[in-house]
């Protein structure tokens, strides 16, 4: 049996992967950390000396933990999924705009638009899709986790894939093109040029705002003209805008005059226009975000 120190070292080697699985499963940074901690507790109590692939073992363990958490969440959930925005991952733009990485988003990046759709899947569907389509696990490996046959597990993933493909817009991969559209959007809002704003919005744009418990802040808005009306209302608030990476797509952090974050906006851009905006404006959740990488 491994010593506690060696076991802890082995776990640290796989921590980032385990966290990535948990985040994609849960869409919540805090819950993902809880799932990672539970995976470590289960590892520390288990003799894994006969385990050939610890990464795969940990993936299975954290997936089971997340499945239980999703089922519990589904039974208790009160907030409407139409306006729920998952926790964003925020980084400085310069990290990705230097060098060839700026030409395309990394293959395993999961944008907010996809996470929004994943929230609407049944827990077993989400697990099958994430483990197979995102992390490349076989259905033979996934089946025991969801307690289904291999055929039934394949059907879960297939059903989830159809929903994802039907509801998730495909984002423009070139970060420079994304930045161009977002800059045009911000300039139009700043200048009150709503004709220019209409020009960068897809006619069928969807805007989803999650204000948490703040009354009147959560809303689902469809159509360019309706989004322009919303932008006109918020343009009167003295907010500063910082362009950042939100889940490896160009996004924006808006701040109040005192420097406190007011919202995080994730943009989905296709064909040179904004097709989806996912806005987290819940003060409580904003206060828990790690913004250290974008601080001056």
pLDDT (0 to 100) of residue 78: 65
Determine the average pLDDT of the residues in 54-59. 94
Does the pLDDT of residue 97 top 50, yes or no?
A: no
Using alpha carbons, select from 125, 131, 132 the residue that is nearest to residue 160.
125
Determine the average pLDDT of the residues in 63-90. 87
**Interatomic CA distance for residues 124 and 157, integer angstroms:** 9
Determine the average pLDDT of the residues in 47-56. 89
Using alpha carbons, select from 197, 171, 173 the residue that is nearest to residue 184.
197
- Range of lowest pLDDT (51-65, 176-190, 209-223): 209-223
Does the pLDDT of residue 225 top 60, yes or no?
A: yes
**Interatomic CA distance for residues 128 and 146, integer angstroms:** 8
**Tokens 């300039």 correspond to what residue?**
187
Do residues 212 and 191 touch, judged by C-beta distance below 8 A? Answer: no
Identify the helix (H) or strand (E) that includes residue 226. helix 224-234
Q: How many residues make up the chain in this entry?
A: 296
Does the pLDDT of residue 101 top 80, yes or no?
A: no
Q: Which residues contact 168 (CB under 8 A, 6 or more apart)?
A: 113, 114, 117
**Interatomic CA distance for residues 28 and 99, integer angstroms:** 30
Q: What structural domains and CATH numbers belong to the chain?
A: 4-77+121-167 (1.20.140.160), 175-294 (3.10.450.50)
**Interatomic CA distance for residues 59 and 62, integer angstroms:** 5
Identify the helix (H) or strand (E) that includes residue 242. strand 240-246
Does the pLDDT of residue 56 top 70, yes or no?
A: yes
Do residues 187 and 221 touch, judged by C-beta distance below 8 A? Answer: no
pLDDT (0 to 100) of residue 109: 59
Q: For the chain, give the percent of residues with pLDDT over 90.
A: 68
Structure tokens at 137: 């696990």
Determine the average pLDDT of the residues in 266-283. 95
pLDDT (0 to 100) of residue 108: 44
């Amino acid at each position: 049996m491994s010593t506690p120190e060696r076991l802890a070292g082995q776990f640290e080697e796989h921590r980032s992967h385990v966290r990535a699985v948990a985040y994609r499963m849960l869409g919540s940074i805090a819950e993902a950390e809880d799932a990672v901690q539970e995976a470590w507790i289960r590892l520390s109590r288990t003799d894994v000396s006969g385990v050939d692939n610890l990464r795969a073992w940990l993936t299975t363990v954290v997936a089971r933990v997340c499945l239980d958490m999703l089922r519990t969440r589904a039974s208790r959930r009160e907030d409407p999924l139409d306006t729920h925005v998952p926790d964003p991952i925020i980084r400085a733009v310069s990290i990705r705009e230097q060098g060839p990485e700026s030409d395309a988003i990394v293959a395993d990046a999961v944008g907010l638009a996809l996470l929004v759709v994943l929230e609407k899947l049944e827990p077993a569907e989400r697990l099958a899709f994430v483990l197979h389509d995102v992390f490349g696990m076989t259905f033979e490996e996934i089946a025991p986790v969801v307690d289904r046959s291999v055929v039934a597990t394949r059907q879960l993933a297939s059903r989830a894939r159809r929903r994802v493909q039907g509801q998730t817009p495909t984002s423009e991969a070139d970060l420079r093109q994304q930045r161009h559209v977002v800059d045009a959007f911000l300039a139009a809002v700043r200048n009150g040029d709503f004709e220019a704003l209409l020009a960068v919005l897809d006619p069928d744009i969807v805007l989803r705002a999650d204000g948490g418990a703040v009354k009147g802040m959560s809303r689902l808005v469809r159509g360019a003209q309706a989004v322009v009306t919303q932008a006109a209302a918020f343009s009167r608030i003295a907010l500063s805008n910082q362009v950042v990476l939100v889940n490896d797509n160009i996004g924006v952090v808006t701040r109040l005059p005192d420097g406190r974050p007011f919202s995080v906006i994730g943009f989905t851009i296709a064909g040179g226009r904004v097709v989806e905006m996912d806005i987290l404006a819940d003060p409580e959740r904003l206060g828990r975000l790690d913004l250290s990488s974008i601080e001056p």
